[in-house]
Amino acid sequence: MFAITANVRGAGKSLLVDAASWIAYGRPAARKTFTRDEAELRKVITAVAIEATPSVLFDNVDQQIGGAALDAALTAETWSDRILGRSATTGELPMNTIWSCTGNNLAFGSDAGRRVLPIRLQSPLETPEDRGDFHHADLLGWVRDNRPRLAVAALTILRGYFVAGCPIQASGEWGSFTNWSALVRSALVWAGAADPLATRVAATANDDARELLAMLIVGVEEADPDGKGVTTNEIERLLSHRTDEMPPCPTLAAAASEICGERFNARRFGRRLRSYIDRIWEGRKITCEKGHGKVNRWAVRPANGGFGGFGGFLESDPEHGTECVLPEGTASDAHGTDANQEDQIPPNPTNPPPSTLEPTDYKCGKCGATLVRKAETLEVNGWVNLDCPTPGCKHVKPVRIMAVDSLVEPSSRNTQKETSSGIY
Protein backbone atom coordinates (compact mmCIF):
# COMPACT_ATOMS: atom_id res chain seq x y z
CA MET A 1 0.00 0.00 0.00
CA PHE A 2 1.21 3.48 -0.88
CA ALA A 3 0.56 5.84 2.03
CA ILE A 4 0.70 9.51 1.08
CA THR A 5 0.93 12.06 3.83
CA ALA A 6 1.94 15.74 4.00
CA ASN A 7 2.97 18.40 6.46
CA VAL A 8 -0.15 20.51 5.69
CA ARG A 9 -3.55 19.90 4.18
CA GLY A 10 -4.12 20.71 0.53
CA ALA A 11 -0.62 19.61 -0.54
CA GLY A 12 -1.98 17.35 -3.32
CA LYS A 13 -2.00 13.87 -1.78
CA SER A 14 -5.08 12.62 -3.64
CA LEU A 15 -3.98 14.41 -6.80
CA LEU A 16 -0.73 12.42 -6.80
CA VAL A 17 -2.61 9.11 -6.55
CA ASP A 18 -5.03 10.05 -9.33
CA ALA A 19 -2.21 11.21 -11.63
CA ALA A 20 -0.41 7.88 -11.25
CA SER A 21 -3.67 5.96 -11.72
CA TRP A 22 -4.46 7.89 -14.91
CA ILE A 23 -1.05 7.01 -16.37
CA ALA A 24 -1.33 3.32 -15.49
CA TYR A 25 -5.05 2.61 -16.02
CA GLY A 26 -6.57 5.60 -17.81
CA ARG A 27 -8.89 6.38 -14.90
CA PRO A 28 -8.70 7.91 -11.41
CA ALA A 29 -8.40 5.72 -8.34
CA ALA A 30 -11.70 4.42 -6.95
CA ARG A 31 -12.55 5.99 -3.60
CA LYS A 32 -13.40 3.67 -0.73
CA THR A 33 -14.06 4.39 2.94
CA PHE A 34 -11.64 2.81 5.36
CA THR A 35 -13.14 1.33 8.53
CA ARG A 36 -11.72 -0.52 11.51
CA ASP A 37 -14.75 -2.86 11.45
CA GLU A 38 -13.29 -6.11 10.12
CA ALA A 39 -16.60 -7.39 8.71
CA GLU A 40 -17.30 -4.15 6.83
CA LEU A 41 -13.73 -3.95 5.56
CA ARG A 42 -13.94 -7.50 4.20
CA LYS A 43 -17.08 -6.50 2.27
CA VAL A 44 -15.21 -3.57 0.72
CA ILE A 45 -12.28 -5.79 -0.27
CA THR A 46 -14.58 -8.48 -1.67
CA ALA A 47 -16.41 -5.91 -3.80
CA VAL A 48 -13.08 -4.64 -5.10
CA ALA A 49 -12.02 -8.20 -6.02
CA ILE A 50 -15.33 -8.97 -7.77
CA GLU A 51 -15.19 -5.74 -9.79
CA ALA A 52 -11.46 -6.17 -10.48
CA THR A 53 -10.89 -2.53 -9.52
CA PRO A 54 -7.30 -1.74 -10.57
CA SER A 55 -6.64 1.16 -8.16
CA VAL A 56 -8.29 1.94 -4.80
CA LEU A 57 -7.77 4.97 -2.59
CA PHE A 58 -8.74 5.27 1.08
CA ASP A 59 -8.90 9.06 1.17
CA ASN A 60 -8.38 11.26 4.23
CA VAL A 61 -7.97 8.41 6.74
CA ASP A 62 -8.13 9.72 10.30
CA GLN A 63 -7.71 6.46 12.20
CA GLN A 64 -5.16 3.70 12.61
CA ILE A 65 -4.65 1.73 9.41
CA GLY A 66 -4.52 -2.05 9.65
CA GLY A 67 -6.51 -5.14 10.48
CA ALA A 68 -6.45 -8.80 9.51
CA ALA A 69 -8.56 -8.35 6.36
CA LEU A 70 -6.48 -5.49 4.95
CA ASP A 71 -3.20 -7.17 5.89
CA ALA A 72 -4.26 -10.26 3.94
CA ALA A 73 -5.47 -8.29 0.91
CA LEU A 74 -2.22 -6.36 0.61
CA THR A 75 -0.11 -9.51 0.19
CA ALA A 76 -2.56 -12.08 -1.23
CA GLU A 77 -2.51 -13.00 -4.92
CA THR A 78 -6.12 -14.21 -4.75
CA TRP A 79 -9.14 -13.39 -2.63
CA SER A 80 -12.15 -15.48 -1.61
CA ASP A 81 -15.09 -14.58 0.61
CA ARG A 82 -18.78 -15.27 1.11
CA ILE A 83 -21.11 -13.41 -1.23
CA LEU A 84 -23.29 -10.99 0.72
CA GLY A 85 -26.82 -12.38 1.24
CA ARG A 86 -25.97 -15.82 -0.14
CA SER A 87 -24.41 -19.00 1.16
CA ALA A 88 -22.09 -19.25 -1.85
CA THR A 89 -18.54 -17.93 -2.03
CA THR A 90 -16.85 -15.86 -4.69
CA GLY A 91 -14.29 -18.52 -5.48
CA GLU A 92 -10.65 -17.64 -6.03
CA LEU A 93 -10.56 -14.12 -7.47
CA PRO A 94 -7.28 -12.51 -8.60
CA MET A 95 -6.15 -9.68 -6.32
CA ASN A 96 -4.13 -7.31 -8.50
CA THR A 97 -5.35 -4.04 -7.02
CA ILE A 98 -2.99 -1.17 -6.20
CA TRP A 99 -3.98 0.14 -2.76
CA SER A 100 -3.31 3.69 -1.60
CA CYS A 101 -4.29 5.82 1.36
CA THR A 102 -3.95 9.48 2.22
CA GLY A 103 -4.07 11.37 5.49
CA ASN A 104 -2.10 13.58 7.83
CA ASN A 105 -0.01 11.88 10.54
CA LEU A 106 -0.95 8.39 9.39
CA ALA A 107 -0.46 5.58 11.92
CA PHE A 108 -0.25 1.89 11.12
CA GLY A 109 -1.36 -0.86 13.47
CA SER A 110 -1.35 -4.63 13.54
CA ASP A 111 1.04 -5.93 10.86
CA ALA A 112 0.23 -3.22 8.31
CA GLY A 113 3.39 -1.21 8.96
CA ARG A 114 5.63 -3.60 7.04
CA ARG A 115 3.20 -3.61 4.09
CA VAL A 116 3.23 0.17 3.60
CA LEU A 117 5.45 2.35 1.41
CA PRO A 118 5.10 5.95 2.69
CA ILE A 119 5.32 9.04 0.49
CA ARG A 120 5.51 12.41 2.24
CA LEU A 121 4.75 15.69 0.48
CA GLN A 122 6.49 18.69 2.03
CA SER A 123 5.04 22.09 1.20
CA PRO A 124 6.69 25.36 2.28
CA LEU A 125 3.30 27.12 2.11
CA GLU A 126 0.81 27.52 4.92
CA THR A 127 -2.13 27.20 2.48
CA PRO A 128 -0.81 25.33 -0.58
CA GLU A 129 -4.33 25.06 -2.03
CA ASP A 130 -4.19 28.82 -2.76
CA ARG A 131 -1.08 28.52 -4.93
CA GLY A 132 -1.62 29.57 -8.56
CA ASP A 133 1.79 29.42 -10.24
CA PHE A 134 1.75 25.76 -11.26
CA HIS A 135 3.52 24.68 -14.44
CA HIS A 136 0.37 22.74 -15.35
CA ALA A 137 -2.66 24.47 -13.90
CA ASP A 138 -4.87 21.44 -14.67
CA LEU A 139 -2.51 18.59 -13.85
CA LEU A 140 -5.00 15.74 -14.38
CA GLY A 141 -6.12 17.25 -17.68
CA TRP A 142 -2.51 17.44 -18.83
CA VAL A 143 -1.91 13.82 -17.70
CA ARG A 144 -4.96 12.62 -19.63
CA ASP A 145 -3.80 14.42 -22.80
CA ASN A 146 -0.24 13.14 -22.50
CA ARG A 147 -0.94 9.68 -21.12
CA PRO A 148 0.59 7.75 -24.07
CA ARG A 149 3.86 9.71 -23.78
CA LEU A 150 4.00 9.32 -19.99
CA ALA A 151 3.23 5.58 -20.12
CA VAL A 152 5.92 5.03 -22.76
CA ALA A 153 8.41 6.97 -20.61
CA ALA A 154 7.70 4.71 -17.64
CA LEU A 155 8.00 1.56 -19.75
CA THR A 156 11.24 2.86 -21.29
CA ILE A 157 12.83 2.85 -17.82
CA LEU A 158 11.90 -0.83 -17.44
CA ARG A 159 13.13 -1.65 -20.96
CA GLY A 160 16.44 0.09 -20.36
CA TYR A 161 16.87 -1.83 -17.12
CA PHE A 162 16.27 -5.15 -18.90
CA VAL A 163 18.61 -4.22 -21.77
CA ALA A 164 21.29 -3.46 -19.16
CA GLY A 165 20.87 -7.02 -17.83
CA CYS A 166 18.87 -6.14 -14.68
CA PRO A 167 21.93 -5.30 -12.56
CA ILE A 168 21.39 -5.49 -8.83
CA GLN A 169 21.03 -1.93 -7.56
CA ALA A 170 20.00 -1.82 -3.92
CA SER A 171 20.71 -4.02 -0.94
CA GLY A 172 17.96 -5.60 1.08
CA GLU A 173 14.54 -6.81 0.07
CA TRP A 174 10.98 -5.89 0.93
CA GLY A 175 9.46 -9.02 2.45
CA SER A 176 6.21 -10.14 0.75
CA PHE A 177 6.95 -7.74 -2.14
CA THR A 178 10.20 -9.22 -3.45
CA ASN A 179 9.12 -9.14 -7.13
CA TRP A 180 8.24 -5.44 -6.95
CA SER A 181 11.49 -4.75 -5.13
CA ALA A 182 13.59 -6.65 -7.66
CA LEU A 183 11.95 -5.06 -10.71
CA VAL A 184 10.32 -1.67 -10.11
CA ARG A 185 12.48 -0.53 -7.21
CA SER A 186 15.73 -1.65 -8.84
CA ALA A 187 14.79 -0.07 -12.18
CA LEU A 188 14.12 3.28 -10.51
CA VAL A 189 17.43 3.21 -8.63
CA TRP A 190 19.22 2.19 -11.84
CA ALA A 191 17.66 5.22 -13.59
CA GLY A 192 19.06 7.55 -10.92
CA ALA A 193 16.11 7.90 -8.56
CA ALA A 194 16.40 7.60 -4.79
CA ASP A 195 15.72 4.21 -3.22
CA PRO A 196 11.92 4.06 -2.61
CA LEU A 197 12.39 1.78 0.40
CA ALA A 198 14.30 4.50 2.23
CA THR A 199 10.94 6.01 3.21
CA ARG A 200 9.82 2.85 5.01
CA VAL A 201 11.57 4.03 8.18
CA ALA A 202 8.62 6.39 8.66
CA ALA A 203 6.13 3.51 8.49
CA THR A 204 8.08 1.59 11.13
CA ALA A 205 8.26 4.67 13.35
CA ASN A 206 4.48 5.11 13.14
CA ASP A 207 3.73 1.45 13.86
CA ASP A 208 1.72 1.60 17.09
CA ALA A 209 2.45 -2.05 17.88
CA ARG A 210 6.19 -1.42 17.69
CA GLU A 211 5.82 1.70 19.81
CA LEU A 212 4.04 -0.28 22.52
CA LEU A 213 6.73 -2.97 22.34
CA ALA A 214 9.38 -0.31 22.99
CA MET A 215 7.39 1.02 25.96
CA LEU A 216 7.02 -2.47 27.43
CA ILE A 217 10.72 -3.31 27.07
CA VAL A 218 11.81 -0.05 28.69
CA GLY A 219 9.07 -0.37 31.31
CA VAL A 220 10.00 -3.92 32.34
CA GLU A 221 13.63 -2.80 32.63
CA GLU A 222 12.46 0.01 34.94
CA ALA A 223 10.61 -2.47 37.15
CA ASP A 224 13.35 -5.13 36.99
CA PRO A 225 16.75 -3.37 37.02
CA ASP A 226 18.53 -6.50 38.32
CA GLY A 227 17.18 -8.74 35.55
CA LYS A 228 15.68 -11.29 37.96
CA GLY A 229 12.26 -11.10 36.34
CA VAL A 230 9.02 -9.58 37.58
CA THR A 231 5.45 -10.90 37.81
CA THR A 232 2.33 -9.02 36.76
CA ASN A 233 1.21 -8.89 40.40
CA GLU A 234 4.52 -7.28 41.35
CA ILE A 235 4.03 -4.79 38.51
CA GLU A 236 0.57 -3.97 39.84
CA ARG A 237 1.93 -3.35 43.36
CA LEU A 238 4.75 -1.26 41.94
CA LEU A 239 2.44 0.93 39.88
CA SER A 240 0.06 1.41 42.80
CA HIS A 241 2.86 2.92 44.88
CA ARG A 242 3.13 6.60 43.99
CA THR A 243 5.32 9.35 45.36
CA ASP A 244 4.12 12.93 44.84
CA GLU A 245 1.64 11.57 42.30
CA MET A 246 4.48 10.33 40.11
CA PRO A 247 4.72 6.55 39.39
CA PRO A 248 8.14 5.00 40.11
CA CYS A 249 8.21 3.52 36.59
CA PRO A 250 6.74 6.16 34.25
CA THR A 251 7.28 4.24 31.00
CA LEU A 252 5.76 1.08 32.45
CA ALA A 253 2.84 3.13 33.79
CA ALA A 254 2.24 4.60 30.34
CA ALA A 255 2.29 1.12 28.76
CA ALA A 256 -0.12 -0.22 31.39
CA SER A 257 -2.47 2.69 30.74
CA GLU A 258 -2.34 1.99 27.01
CA ILE A 259 -3.20 -1.68 27.53
CA CYS A 260 -5.59 -1.63 30.51
CA GLY A 261 -6.94 1.90 30.65
CA GLU A 262 -7.29 3.64 33.99
CA ARG A 263 -7.50 0.45 36.07
CA PHE A 264 -4.67 -2.08 35.91
CA ASN A 265 -5.71 -5.63 34.99
CA ALA A 266 -2.95 -8.19 35.61
CA ARG A 267 -4.51 -10.84 33.33
CA ARG A 268 -4.95 -8.44 30.40
CA PHE A 269 -1.48 -7.00 30.88
CA GLY A 270 0.04 -10.49 30.98
CA ARG A 271 -1.75 -11.51 27.77
CA ARG A 272 -0.35 -8.48 25.98
CA LEU A 273 3.15 -9.22 27.27
CA ARG A 274 2.82 -12.78 25.99
CA SER A 275 1.93 -11.51 22.51
CA TYR A 276 5.29 -9.70 22.42
CA ILE A 277 7.50 -12.59 23.58
CA ASP A 278 10.77 -12.73 21.57
CA ARG A 279 9.92 -9.65 19.47
CA ILE A 280 13.09 -7.60 19.15
CA TRP A 281 13.52 -3.87 19.74
CA GLU A 282 16.98 -2.31 19.71
CA GLY A 283 18.72 -5.59 20.47
CA ARG A 284 16.47 -6.64 23.38
CA LYS A 285 13.41 -8.81 23.73
CA ILE A 286 10.78 -9.75 26.30
CA THR A 287 11.00 -13.27 27.73
CA CYS A 288 8.73 -15.30 29.98
CA GLU A 289 10.53 -17.45 32.55
CA LYS A 290 9.07 -19.79 35.14
CA GLY A 291 9.79 -18.72 38.69
CA HIS A 292 9.03 -20.28 42.06
CA GLY A 293 5.70 -22.08 41.98
CA LYS A 294 5.69 -21.98 38.16
CA VAL A 295 4.68 -18.30 38.22
CA ASN A 296 5.47 -16.40 35.04
CA ARG A 297 8.28 -13.90 35.51
CA TRP A 298 8.76 -11.34 32.77
CA ALA A 299 12.25 -10.11 31.93
CA VAL A 300 14.17 -8.30 29.21
CA ARG A 301 17.09 -10.20 27.71
CA PRO A 302 19.59 -9.55 24.88
CA ALA A 303 18.13 -10.63 21.57
CA ASN A 304 21.16 -12.81 20.73
CA GLY A 305 21.29 -14.61 24.08
CA GLY A 306 24.36 -15.22 26.20
CA PHE A 307 26.13 -12.47 28.10
CA GLY A 308 25.47 -8.99 26.73
CA GLY A 309 24.21 -10.40 23.44
CA PHE A 310 27.51 -12.07 22.53
CA GLY A 311 26.53 -15.70 23.10
CA GLY A 312 28.07 -17.82 25.82
CA PHE A 313 29.17 -21.29 26.78
CA LEU A 314 25.97 -23.18 26.24
CA GLU A 315 23.49 -23.78 23.47
CA SER A 316 19.96 -25.06 24.08
CA ASP A 317 18.74 -28.30 22.55
CA PRO A 318 15.25 -27.27 21.28
CA GLU A 319 14.06 -30.85 20.88
CA HIS A 320 14.78 -32.09 24.38
CA GLY A 321 14.95 -28.87 26.36
CA THR A 322 18.52 -29.61 27.49
CA GLU A 323 21.84 -27.78 27.20
CA CYS A 324 25.20 -29.00 26.00
CA VAL A 325 28.75 -27.77 25.41
CA LEU A 326 28.97 -26.70 21.78
CA PRO A 327 31.22 -28.69 19.43
CA GLU A 328 34.10 -26.93 17.70
CA GLY A 329 33.15 -24.37 15.08
CA THR A 330 29.51 -23.90 16.06
CA ALA A 331 29.76 -21.10 18.60
CA SER A 332 30.20 -18.41 15.96
CA ASP A 333 27.52 -19.95 13.73
CA ALA A 334 24.96 -20.17 16.53
CA HIS A 335 25.36 -16.58 17.60
CA GLY A 336 26.13 -14.85 14.33
CA THR A 337 29.72 -13.83 15.17
CA ASP A 338 32.90 -14.24 13.18
CA ALA A 339 35.50 -16.57 14.67
CA ASN A 340 38.21 -14.47 13.04
CA GLN A 341 37.09 -11.37 14.95
CA GLU A 342 37.60 -12.60 18.49
CA ASP A 343 39.25 -9.33 19.42
CA GLN A 344 35.94 -7.57 18.84
CA ILE A 345 34.04 -9.83 21.24
CA PRO A 346 34.19 -9.03 24.96
CA PRO A 347 35.48 -11.88 27.13
CA ASN A 348 33.03 -14.23 28.79
CA PRO A 349 32.52 -13.84 32.53
CA THR A 350 34.79 -15.78 34.89
CA ASN A 351 33.90 -19.45 35.06
CA PRO A 352 32.10 -20.59 38.22
CA PRO A 353 34.15 -22.61 40.73
CA PRO A 354 34.37 -26.37 40.21
CA SER A 355 31.56 -28.41 41.63
CA THR A 356 32.16 -30.35 44.86
CA LEU A 357 29.36 -32.83 44.20
CA GLU A 358 30.07 -36.53 44.08
CA PRO A 359 29.51 -38.39 40.79
CA THR A 360 26.36 -40.04 42.12
CA ASP A 361 24.84 -36.60 42.80
CA TYR A 362 24.43 -35.94 39.05
CA LYS A 363 20.98 -37.31 38.33
CA CYS A 364 18.90 -37.09 35.16
CA GLY A 365 16.19 -34.51 35.62
CA LYS A 366 13.84 -36.49 33.39
CA CYS A 367 14.17 -40.15 34.47
CA GLY A 368 16.30 -40.01 37.65
CA ALA A 369 19.14 -42.18 36.34
CA THR A 370 22.77 -41.41 37.31
CA LEU A 371 24.49 -39.41 34.58
CA VAL A 372 27.77 -40.72 33.11
CA ARG A 373 30.50 -39.36 30.90
CA LYS A 374 30.77 -41.18 27.58
CA ALA A 375 34.16 -42.24 26.27
CA GLU A 376 34.11 -39.88 23.27
CA THR A 377 33.13 -36.83 25.35
CA LEU A 378 35.79 -34.13 25.45
CA GLU A 379 36.72 -32.00 28.44
CA VAL A 380 36.73 -28.31 27.48
CA ASN A 381 38.39 -25.97 29.98
CA GLY A 382 37.09 -28.05 32.85
CA TRP A 383 33.59 -28.40 31.37
CA VAL A 384 32.23 -31.76 30.32
CA ASN A 385 28.89 -33.14 29.15
CA LEU A 386 27.24 -35.86 31.22
CA ASP A 387 24.73 -38.09 29.41
CA CYS A 388 21.79 -40.10 30.66
CA PRO A 389 22.38 -43.83 30.04
CA THR A 390 18.64 -44.57 29.79
CA PRO A 391 17.79 -45.52 26.17
CA GLY A 392 15.73 -42.83 24.46
CA CYS A 393 16.16 -40.25 27.21
CA LYS A 394 18.92 -38.15 25.55
CA HIS A 395 19.21 -35.81 28.52
CA VAL A 396 22.55 -33.98 28.68
CA LYS A 397 23.95 -31.88 31.52
CA PRO A 398 27.08 -29.70 31.26
CA VAL A 399 29.15 -29.65 34.48
CA ARG A 400 32.52 -28.30 35.60
CA ILE A 401 34.28 -30.62 38.00
CA MET A 402 37.77 -31.59 39.18
CA ALA A 403 37.65 -35.38 39.08
CA VAL A 404 36.12 -35.89 35.65
CA ASP A 405 37.82 -39.28 35.28
CA SER A 406 35.64 -40.71 38.02
CA LEU A 407 32.60 -40.10 35.86
CA VAL A 408 33.85 -41.95 32.79
CA GLU A 409 32.06 -45.19 31.96
CA PRO A 410 33.99 -48.28 33.15
CA SER A 411 34.82 -49.39 29.61
CA SER A 412 36.69 -46.17 28.94
CA ARG A 413 38.65 -45.57 32.18
CA ASN A 414 41.94 -46.46 30.44
CA THR A 415 41.22 -44.24 27.47
CA GLN A 416 43.63 -41.33 27.17
CA LYS A 417 41.90 -38.08 28.07
CA GLU A 418 41.44 -35.75 25.11
CA THR A 419 41.67 -32.05 25.73
CA SER A 420 41.14 -28.98 23.67
CA SER A 421 41.46 -25.24 24.13
CA GLY A 422 38.79 -22.60 23.82
CA ILE A 423 35.13 -22.59 24.71
CA TYR A 424 32.97 -24.49 22.22
pLDDT one-digit tens code per residue, 109-161: 757 878 899 998 888 888 888 888 888 989 999 999 999 999 999 999 999 99
Contact 335, 311 (CB under 8 A): yes
Q: Helix, strand, coil shares of the chain as percentages rounded to 5?
A: 40, 20, 45
Question: Mean per-residue pLDDT for 333-348?
Answer: 48
Parallel, antiparallel, or unpaired for β 396-400 and 383-387?
antiparallel
Indicate the average pLDDT of the chain: 77
> CA 318, 323, 328, 329 torsion: positive or negative?
positive
Higher pLDDT: 342 or 276? It is 276
State pLDDT tens for residues 253-310: 888 888 888 888 888 888 888 888 888 888 888 998 887 777 889 999 888 754 444 4
Contacts of 76 (CB under 8 A, 6+ apart): 95
pLDDT above 90 for 46? yes
pLDDT above 60 for 409? no
Query: Which letter does DSSP use for residue 309 in this model?
Result: T
- According to the model, what pLDDT value does residue 423 have? 33
Of the spans 21-25, 100-104, 248-252, 340-344, which averages the highest pLDDT?
A: 21-25
State pLDDT tens for residues 72-85: 999 989 999 988 87
Phi, psi of 36 (to 5 degrees): -85, -5
- According to the model, what pLDDT value does residue 247 have? 61
Contact 359, 407 (CB under 8 A): yes
What confidence category does residue 101 fall into, taking pLDDT thresholds of 50, 70 and 90? Answer: very high
Parallel, antiparallel, or unpaired for β 419-420 and 396-400?
unpaired
- According to the model, what pLDDT value does residue 382 have? 62
